[in-house]
Amino acid sequence: MMHDIHTPYLFCIGRLVQEKGFDIIIEAYAKIIAAGFDLSLVIAGEGSEKHIFVEKAKELQLAISENTACDLFPNKTVCFVGNVKGQIKTSLFMRSRMVLFPTQSNLVQESFALVPFEAFAAKRPLVMSQLDRAHELKEEGFIFDIIENPSDANEWRDMIIKKLNETESLDGLNNNFQKLQPYDWKIIVEQYKTTWQKSLLLNKNISL
């Protein structure tokens, strides 16, 4: 069972391969920590190029955890939590400070990305690379931020810091949740809704 997570964290999930852009996020994260922010970076997933991201974190002299329990994240640490499913994945989305989707548009285009929908279902802020899919979601009325140059760690740093310093609009998060209704996402949306309601009962101070 997931317990309260006291350390705020940025959340990424996907296959650990270079086109997913997690090395760019790790570089941006190092700059965010250097700017004085206290939070962790949680990366979920497995893949053949995980070593690239681990080495990137080491190169930047960041603390690394590869055996982190999903209910306890050390501060100022890049936490690799492996593949996650079900309630654990749901909780990781819902308890994150924001969800990052850094797929590199110069390497690959995501035809139907699930991560943005899970962020919307969890009512979490989303920052996403400029992809064809990102602009399609904007046209459909979803509210989130797009990084124009996905390979630019400084642009990611600036956007993440901007969002860390501002109060997230609940109207925008609720809008995204409602916009999911036309999709065949009833089971997943209900899963997030149920977890959200339970979390409110357990901890009225949870940030939604």
Tell me the average pLDDT across 127-151.
94
Max alpha carbon distance in the chain (Å)?
Answer: 45
CATH number for 101: 3.40.50.2000
Lowest mean pLDDT: which of 7-21, 80-94, 105-119, 180-194? Answer: 180-194
Residue 4 has pLDDT above 50, yes or no: no
Position 207 in a domain:
no
Other beta carbons less than 10 A from residue 46's beta carbon? 12
Cβ–Cβ < 8 Å for 92, 44: yes
Position 28 in a domain:
yes
Position 206 in a domain:
no
CA distance 152 to 193: 35
CA distance 76 to 156: 17
Entry pTM: 0.84
CA distance 72 to 56: 23
Tell me the average pLDDT across 84-90.
90
How many separate domains does the chain show? Answer: 1
Position 87 in a domain:
yes
Q: Give per-residue pLDDT as tens, 31-78.
A: 999 999 999 999 999 999 999 999 999 999 999 998 766 677 999 999
Position 63 in a domain:
yes
Kind and range of the H or E run holding 98:
strand 98-101
Other beta carbons less than 10 A from residue 119's beta carbon? 27
Position 79 in a domain:
yes
Q: At what angle do helices 114-121 and 86-95 cross, to 10 degrees?
A: 70
Average per-residue pLDDT for the chain: 86
Highest mean pLDDT among 12-16, 111-115, 192-196: 12-16
Q: What is the residue range of 137's domain?
A: 9-201
pLDDT of residue 61: 97
H helices of 45-124, in order, are: 50-59, 86-95, 114-121
Position 46 in a domain:
yes
Position 3 in a domain:
no
Angle at 154 between CA 150 and CA 160, to 5 degrees: 85
